[in-house]
Structure 1
Amino acid sequence: MTFLQGLLSNISTRTRLLGNASNTAQSSGAHLQALSSACATLMERGGEASQIMTAQRALTHYQQLAPEERLAFFSLLASDYAAEPSAIHSAYKAYCASEDNAALEQLFNACEPRRQDLLRRLNLCPGGTFELVKMRADLLKQLRHTPELAALNSDFSHLFNSWFNRGFLVLESIDWNTPAAVLEKLIQYEAVHAISDWRDLRRRLDPDDRRCYAFFHPATGDEPLIFVEVALCKGIPDNVQRILEHGEEVPLEVADTAVFYSISNCQAGLKGVSFGNFLIKQVVQELSRELPQLKNFVTLSPVPGFADWLAEQRASQSLVLSETLGTFLQDHEATELPAAAHKEFMRLAAYYLTEAKHRSGQPLNPVARFHLGNGASLHRLNWLGDTSSKGLQQAHGLMVNYLYQLERIEQNHEAYTRNHSVVCANDIRRLANQAGQYFNSEANA
């Protein structure tokens, strides 16, 4: 932040405080009109001071809008701040005539929607980056029902992938002594295994055999972008309850395995901006330096969508299952299964993770896509790895370990990138191959 930006930040903060009474008196329609006017002013040429103040004013008005008015604002950006077709045609003709770099630059500039420049200018004011992240989160809520806003979403995505690239990210280790403002956000943003209270959070951060790392960005202050929780263990664990309940600590000199048991993206507005692959690889490097005796770097991952997939396959009569397994799958609280039906279940789990794919060729399971795309391999299936209500509902308690082997990460990543190959342990591949007997070929014909 420049000195001028800092000074204006203080001025604008006091201005907002003084203006709160009058702001609340304004109608929502007035805020939308004022926002539109501020955006138009922002696109005019002006000095840095006036642009910063105008951007601040625009974002303040945006914060006052009701959801339906935010939709109206997004529609305004999509229509009135698009690229100008006549300018594109003119620039293209000029490039075809000369084919020089100057004409190519003019063509690029003509093709860029004006709203990208507007978003850059809104980003000038202090705190603007995080406000724009929240703005995109609002946009994403509207996108499903308003597909004509897809181009605007692409503009946000384009800018955010540049603003939040790896060079700007700061890795921080988080422990129980980290400022409470940050710790509170971990409780808020935890997306895999809910943190019930401060005591629960302390169990995850304070012991010597626990670690937590997060990426931050200079422009978003103490707002984490993504964080990972790590348990240091002896051997590869197969049950997350034992990690979350945390009994006896594992001495650091005994620990040989780092377990990534929870990875949470914090900002909905940064959907599509990849942080996790950088985070895990850097954390592996950090832990390897701190604890060179560590031999295994694994996850203990949920399998969201597995229960739904099984239900869909049964509903379409694609699966022919034993009565015992069928009864088990209907009860999302069941945790007991005879040996024969257990084999059925594990074979289907292996098939789901290795063979059930989108038309694009990528695995259906989002967690599998993430870790396999990062260069991990599918290492082990864990029956009743998560017996919480959430774990039983989404995957009948199944959890899996993905293995990060430093010497094979790039090779696995390339295999997945080129043809979506699922690198997995031999016993998992064998189970997946055995699952073919449960599929009804006539239903799939």
Structure 2
Amino acid sequence: MTLLADLLSTVFDRRYRRDGPRVKDGRPLCDLSLALVGSAGETSGLALAEEILARFADLDDAGKLAFFRDIAGMNIDPEAVRTTLEDYERNPTKAGYRAFMEAAEPPRQELIRRLNRVPGATGALVRMRAELLRLTGADPELQALDLDFRHLFASWFNRGFLVLRPISWESPAQVLDKIIAYEAVHAIDSWDDLRRRLQPSDRRCFAFFHPAMPDEPLIFVEVALVKGTPGSVQALLAEDREAMPASQADTAVFYSISNCQAGLANISFGNSLIKQVAADLAADLPGLKTFVTLSPIPGLTKWLTAQGQNWQDATADQMKALAAHYLLNAKVQNGAPFDPVARFHLGNGAIVHAVHADADVSDKGRAQSGGAMVNYLYDLPKVAQNHETFATTQKVIASADVKTLAGSVTLTPSKNTEER
């Protein structure tokens, strides 16, 4: 995998070299953007793109908002779209279709493409979108601009371009630093804590990388190889636990999955990552028969509070039942599960397998779910079927034990359950 990554990185590393230092162009960024879209020369276009990216990086928030509003104005001409579509409907020729496609694509998409020609620009554009998301608010023009970024990123970061790499204690320090920084589920408190998650024989970590951003993980998953299905994240991460040979494990536990790039929000990698890692582990370790998560339930206490439930005084058994009821019955207005982690794993084809009380006794775990956690089971032969069922019906597939727990609780979901 490392060799493949190096080869792809070489392909993506476009060696544009300028003679001498960058010559600054004093024109406003809006003018530079229009000039870049209209430029015909490769060298002049690269110089313009480099200038725009360099200038944008130095802007304050007000300047960035002004830039985004300027390029959001590089929009489609609705009349041209209507005219070319009508022409194509009357005479569906190749030329007519090309004219319609050109009219239907806003010039700002071509601007983003041309900015991406500069070496290192892909990462800069991901950071640019992160700033756009941070500053957009409810502005409809800026939201439309974000859709253009998403449209392009969905192609640039599709699964065919991604490289799966194992992360180990021997990985480059700059990558390990980022794993610590980007861990979003269970904070990594120190280098010793990181070592406990990477170095023992029964621990694994995998990340997706893009060849244009070879030192920036896009998403990573941490895996524990264990016997049986775990019910405590503190036990998985305990300092004094004894490692065992990976060959003795019968279960792979995905206990943390973290998206690393804010600018790639809503560009889905997790589905491919978990399935690829599960398939690779199954091939390497034939003794692995079960693939589960040990997942947080981040919306639980919020939802229970909205229902008027005094979850703070619940016993362990009551908390398990409340969590099961929530996972199976709490919905947003479109019928999908209220819990975002549930939507993710069920959408990937997993099922709700088991619920545990006192499974995350950290302050964060207590605050978001009263300490409860859930195992989502990835039954590899049934993942595709489960995915289709959930996608078409929004039905939550769960084990008999979880259904029994959920059935022991009677609550009426709040009419004010928010849309997600």
Give me the whole-angstrom Cα distance separating, in 1, the residues matched to 2:369 and 2:392: 29
How big is the shift at 1:433? 2.2
**Aligned match of 1:329:** 312
Q: Which moved more, 1:69-78 or 1:47-56?
A: 47-56
Match of 1:82, SS state, is coil
1:283 to 2:277 alignment: yes
Q: Which moved more, 1:211-220 or 1:89-98?
A: 89-98
Give me the whole-angstrom Cα distance separating, in 2, the residues matched to 1:249 and 1:355: 38
**Aligned match of 2:196:** 203
Give me the whole-angstrom Cα distance separating, in 1, the residues matched to 2:380 and 2:265: 27
Which amino acid in 2 is paired with 1:254?
Q
How big is the shift at 1:220? 1.1
Give me the whole-angstrom Cα distance separating, in 1, the residues matched to 2:140 and 2:61: 17
Give me the whole-angstrom Cα distance separating, in 2, the residues matched to 1:117 and 1:443: 42
How big is the shift at 1:345? 2.7
Preserved CA contact (<8 Å) 1:306 1:394: yes
**Aligned match of 2:177:** 184
**Aligned match of 1:126:** 119
Give me the whole-angstrom Cα distance separating, in 1, the residues matched to 2:237 and 2:169: 16
Give me the whole-angstrom Cα distance separating, in 1, the residues matched to 2:413 and 2:248: 49
Give me the whole-angstrom Cα distance separating, in 2, the residues matched to 1:357 and 1:256: 34
Give me the whole-angstrom Cα distance separating, in 1, the residues matched to 2:40 and 2:372: 59
Q: What does 1:218-237 correspond to in 2, within 5 Å?
A: 218-237=211-230
1:312 to 2:286 alignment: no
1:345 to 2:339 alignment: no
- 1:417 aligned to which of 391, 397, 417: 391
- 1:429 aligned to which of 403, 409, 414: 403
How big is the shift at 1:184? 0.5
**Aligned match of 2:265:** 271
How big is the shift at 1:282? 0.4
TM-score, normalised on structure 2? Answer: 0.92
Gapped regions of structure 1 (runs ≥ 5):
24-29, 320-325, 331-336
Give me the whole-angstrom Cα distance separating, in 2, the residues matched to 1:148 and 1:106: 24
Preserved CA contact (<8 Å) 2:203 2:225: yes
How big is the shift at 1:346? 2.3
Match of 2:381, SS state, is coil
- 2:368 aligned to which of 388, 394, 419: 394
How big is the shift at 1:216? 0.2
Gapped regions of structure 2 (runs ≥ 5):
1-9
Calculate percent identity across the aligned residue pairs: 48
Q: What does 1:165-180 correspond to in 2, within 5 Å?
A: 165-180=158-173
Preserved CA contact (<8 Å) 1:385 1:399: yes
Match of 1:227, SS state, is strand
Q: What does 1:344-383 correspond to in 2, within 5 Å?
A: 344-383=318-357
Q: What does 1:98-137 correspond to in 2, within 5 Å?
A: 98-137=91-130
Preserved CA contact (<8 Å) 2:87 2:96: yes
**Aligned match of 2:6:** none
Residues 101-140 of structure 1: per-residue CA shift (max 9 Å, x gap)? 3212211210111100100000000011111111111111
Give the greater-gyration-radius structure (CA).
1
How big is the shift at 1:364? 0.7
Give me the whole-angstrom Cα distance separating, in 2, the residues matched to 1:34 and 1:55: 13
Give me the whole-angstrom Cα distance separating, in 1, the residues matched to 2:159 and 2:111: 24
Residues 374-428 of structure 1: per-residue CA shift (max 9 Å, x gap)? 1111100010110001000100100110111111111111110111111111111
Which amino acid in 2 is paired with 1:433?
G
How big is the shift at 1:430? 1.8
How big is the shift at 1:360? 1.3
1:15 to 2:8 alignment: no
Give me the whole-angstrom Cα distance separating, in 2, the residues matched to 1:184 and 1:198: 9
Give me the whole-angstrom Cα distance separating, in 2, the residues matched to 1:362 and 1:439: 16
Q: How many residue pairs get matched?
A: 407
Q: What does 1:230-249 correspond to in 2, within 5 Å?
A: 230-246=223-239, 247-249=241-243
Give me the whole-angstrom Cα distance separating, in 2, the residues matched to 1:433 and 1:142: 44
How big is the shift at 1:441? 10
Give me the whole-angstrom Cα distance separating, in 1, the residues matched to 2:137 and 2:326: 27
| Inter-CA distance 85–3: structure 2 relative to 1 (3 Å threshold) | closer
Which amino acid in 2 is paired with 1:15?
P
Give me the whole-angstrom Cα distance separating, in 1, the residues matched to 2:246 and 2:78: 63
Which amino acid in 1 is paired with 2:347?
G
1:37 to 2:31 alignment: yes
Match of 1:423, SS state, is coil
Preserved CA contact (<8 Å) 1:172 1:216: yes
Match of 1:238, SS state, is coil
Q: Which moved more, 1:134-143 or 1:101-110?
A: 101-110
Task: Provide the aligned C-alpha RMSD in A.
Answer: 2.3
**Aligned match of 1:91:** 84
TM-score, normalised on structure 1? Answer: 0.87
Larger helix share, 1 or 2? 1
